[in-house]
Chains A and B, each alone.
Chain A
């Protein structure tokens, strides 16, 4: 689609944090991250509705997942190594604690949970899963690693009463 754009995201856009924040350093409060994400979602939803917003967040998460895979995970030697590196990157960056329930590469099915999720842990119970961005992110990570397309669905979330987000990933081709 030919639309006017300010940018196409690249990892370099994250900038030189050390240079830019000599006093404040690399961390910000989780509330600040959520404030932005929840307000961005609110604004997009009020203009484009729920379904379109879900698609946009999934897509944004997907883009983030691809970039994260390329720039943060390093050289990966196999499935075991993939999960190991992913676990440590997600923990170090404060995104969440990744645990694997099921990993079946041959049949293209994974069930994973993310505890203390950056997006939703501790949010009020609303009865719907909210981590659409994470769904996209996980889909991109699996896609980048396996070369196969994955659909990811969050089946349990802090917002539905669980104490961890649970994602089911299934190969879609």
Chain B
């Protein structure tokens, strides 16, 4: 072996990558390819170490380049997953990074739980667990611009809450509100939204529901009120429904449902049904 080749091999064997292979060396072609390969691996690994995941190692195959490329692909996927999580997708899980996977997944699960908690705090009515006014307003706007028409709206108002509060105290009034909420929850379907938007006011949105189906739901609410069991004050609700058929007409429907509910309420008042006695 000539001296030039021996020096280059020695340099490589000690872990260094020569700058160039002189053309007059023996096996200069093969040595140059090996040198270029090592130099490319060095550049790629250095980039990985510095967090640069954009480098390419396309012309090189083999187990070393292949493994490095797989590591880069995994890190790029992890970056993508993190972006998804940042955008609110807490279902992302890592399953290819050993101990890191477990730590990362625990973090995501905790983040998810904390976010759910926060969202509930901000969107739910604490007494009934129903959606609150703020959430209703946002959802109402979304539906009004959405594609779920016809959308029906049911307004419901608790009869006699003030009297119960005055006669039996607010704790009993709260029981009445909760019972009313439970009745409404049972009467609606999966995709419907029930919200408590005032002390004794509830509203239900029914996406993809026309007049006939809305009337079915209304009858179901009335049936649930008629069949209510349990102890405590008896729930009486004034209800009214209306249907919005196209985008931009939800406010109109809400007003109509409200008017019908008031009509129902005046019937209740006209009949002046005495408040059911409370069990003593």
A residues neighboring B (CB under 8 Å): 80, 84, 97, 99-103, 111, 113, 115, 125, 127, 155-156, 158, 160-164, 166
- Given contact pairs A113-B73, A156-B73, enumerate 14 new A-B contacts (beta carbons under 8 Å): A84-B91, A97-B95, A101-B79, A102-B80, A111-B76, A125-B61, A125-B66, A156-B69, A160-B66, A161-B61, A161-B65, A162-B61, A162-B66, A163-B67
Evaluate contact between B89 and A156: CB separation under 8 angstroms.
Answer: no
Evaluate contact between A163 and B91: CB separation under 8 angstroms.
Answer: no
Closest to B58 in A: A155
Nearest Cβ distance between residue B72 and chain A, in whole angstroms? 9
Given the interface pairs A160-B66, A161-B63, the reply to whether A101 lies near B89 with Cβ below 8 Å is no
Nearest Cβ distance between residue B101 and chain A, in whole angstroms? 13
Which positions 4-21 of chain B face chain A at CB distance < 8 Å?
none
Given the interface pairs A100-B80, A101-B76, A101-B77, the reply to whether A161 lies near B66 with Cβ below 8 Å is yes
Nearest Cβ distance between residue B213 and chain A, in whole angstroms? 22
The interface residues of chain B, by DSSP majority, are classed as helix
Nearest Cβ distance between residue B164 and chain A, in whole angstroms? 44
Interface string of B62-93 (1 = CB under 8 A from A): 11111101100110110110001000010100
Given the interface pairs A80-B84, A80-B89, the reply to whether A99 lies near B65 with Cβ below 8 Å is no
Cα A155 to Cα B72 with chains together (Å): 13
Contact residue range for chain B? 20 to 34
**Interface CB pairs A-B, < 8 A, 18:** A80-B89, A99-B73, A99-B74, A99-B80, A99-B96, A101-B73, A102-B76, A113-B73, A113-B77, A125-B61, A125-B63, A160-B62, A161-B66, A161-B69, A162-B69, A162-B70, A163-B66, A164-B74
Cα A100 to Cα B80 with chains together (Å): 7
On chain B, the residues within 8 Å of A101 by CB distance are 73, 76-77, 79-80
Evaluate contact between B61 and A127: CB separation under 8 angstroms.
Answer: yes
Cα A127 to Cα B64 with chains together (Å): 13
Which positions 224-246 of chain B face chain A at CB distance < 8 Å?
none
Closest to A164 in B: B70
Evaluate contact between A115 and B76: CB separation under 8 angstroms.
Answer: no
Nearest Cβ distance between residue A167 and chain B, in whole angstroms? 11
Closest to A100 in B: B80
Nearest Cβ distance between residue B202 and chain A, in whole angstroms? 29
On chain B, the residues within 8 Å of A115 by CB distance are 96
